[in-house]
Chains A and B, each alone.
Chain A
Amino acid sequence: MYDFAYHRPKSLADAVSALKGKDEARPMAGGMTLIPTLKQRLAKPSDVIDLGAIKDLAGVKVEGSNVVIGAMTRHFDVASSADVKRMIPALAELAGMIGDPAVRNRGTIGGSIANSDPAADYPAAVVALNATITTNTGKHAADGFFKGLFETALKDGELITSVSFPKPDKAAYMKFRNPASRYAMVGVFVAKTGNTVRVAVTGAGPSVFRVKAMEDALSKNFTSAAIKDIKVPADDLNSDIHGSAEYRAHLVGVMARRAVDAANK
């Protein structure tokens, strides 16, 4: 790891000013991706701004029919939150599927979303549940937030403060794990609210994406049978030692059908 200047601001305002004017500074949430990246010398930030001491960025609260999760809330705390389990059990289950217990004790929702790893779980929930991402400068709709591989709509110096998830009528997340890393080879989050269905896929492409054909079919008939003939093109999907693009395309269909069945249980 290259050395860097370390900052541990106590407030969001201090974090924002610590980032200001430093082109090569990086904020750090739980560090579950950033620290391994630094260890491999894949990044060389001048400064690391540790958000871990900003107490009011962590926590879960219910606002009307929304669950609002602070950016620094650890995966373990989302997975075990009574409010999340009651309002959006699929979201609690997703959080409980990330990494392993020690990773869930450190990793955060804000870090996961800001990083936009192609195999991260949370982006699927953000997009399928049509969540709203609040930052120090404003709000982002889920659609359009994830721009591509490790790329989001966040501007330099913009920090996520919370994510607001509207309660769906039904939802489920199904993930085909890489057996070694437990990252999503393919993860599909399906959510139904009224007559609107959203299907978001992670792990398969450069970043999370929706499957319009499945959403249209499921809006008319919310059963796994309704999407059994829908094929996802493999053209832009990831191909690596863990699986080919064709294999991932096939898995999208399988995971989507399983997610619909689970949501209907």
Chain B
Amino acid sequence: MTISVAMTVNGKPVSGKVEARTLLVQFLREHLGMTGTHVGCDTSQCGACVVHVDGKSVKSCTMLAVQADGANVTTIEGLASSPDKLHPMQEAFRDNHALQCGFCTPGMVMSAIDMVKRHNYQLDEATVRHELEGNLCRCTGYHNIVKAILAAAPAMKAAGV
């Protein structure tokens, strides 16, 4: 079954024809060519595919593209305000060396931003570690990821994002 979908991705209107079974992450990567969102486990465990749909973090490997019809989607590509100005969360990941291979990073950053906003920019280490239960990193041992998120929370507040 072929279906037309239209949604807003990173502020721009996009549309396409998909099968009913096309996953949101497939639509982003294979139809739109936006490969920043990763597919890690493809079983809703690892969180590499996390994007924001209408402001909420979701695992885009466990959502159909047709379910996002009409929605406002933000991916890792939509965070930086300009090519030379990263989002405070991306900046904090770089400053704190919160990645090694980088595969999990897009999902980590998207989950982290959602986490910071849900907790009104106020987080402690235990909360961050608990909230990261849906994102797996196999390189860093999470330590620097946690540090980066704690550093980004006040930076996001200061930047008003």
Contact = CB atoms under 8 A, between A and B. Distances in A.
Interface string B1-27: 101000000000000000111010000
Given A35-B64, A36-B43, A102-B50, A6 B3 contact: yes
Contacts of A36: 43-44, 62
B64 A102 contact: no
B134 A48 contact: no
A253 interface: no
B133 interface: yes
Given A6-B20, A180-B45, A101 B62 contact: no
B135 to A, nearest CB: 8
Contact of B133 (A1, A2, A100, A105): A100
Nearest to A2: B21
Nearest to A1: B21
Contacts of A101: 57, 111, 114-115, 118, 131, 133-134
Contacts of A3: 1, 19-21
**How many interface residues does chain A have, given as a range?**
20 to 34
Interface in A172-188: 180-182
B89 interface: no
B20 A31 contact: no
Interface string A87-103: 00000000000011111
Given A6-B66, A31-B63, A39-B42, A99 B58 contact: no
Contacts of B115: 101
A80 B111 CA distance: 18
B38 interface: no
A239 B68 CA distance: 38
A160 B59 CA distance: 25
Contact of A99 (B23, B64, B134): B134
Interface in B28-73: 42-45, 47, 50, 56-59, 62-64, 66-67, 69
Contact of B66 (A8, A99, A106): A8
A235 to B, nearest CB: 32
A263 B114 CA distance: 31
Interface residues of B, number: 30
B57 to A, nearest CB: 5
A38 B47 CA distance: 19
Contacts of B50: 102
A244 B59 CA distance: 31
B56 A105 contact: yes
Nearest to B133: A100
Nearest to A40: B43
Contacts of B45: 180-181
A4 interface: yes
A100 B47 contact: yes
A13 interface: no
B67 to A, nearest CB: 6
B85 to A, nearest CB: 27
16 contacts: A1-B21, A3-B19, A3-B20, A31-B63, A31-B67, A35-B63, A100-B47, A100-B135, A101-B57, A102-B47, A103-B44, A103-B134, A105-B56, A106-B58, A106-B63, A182-B133
Interface of A: 1-6, 8, 31-32, 35-36, 38-39, 48, 50, 52, 76, 99-103, 105-106, 180-182
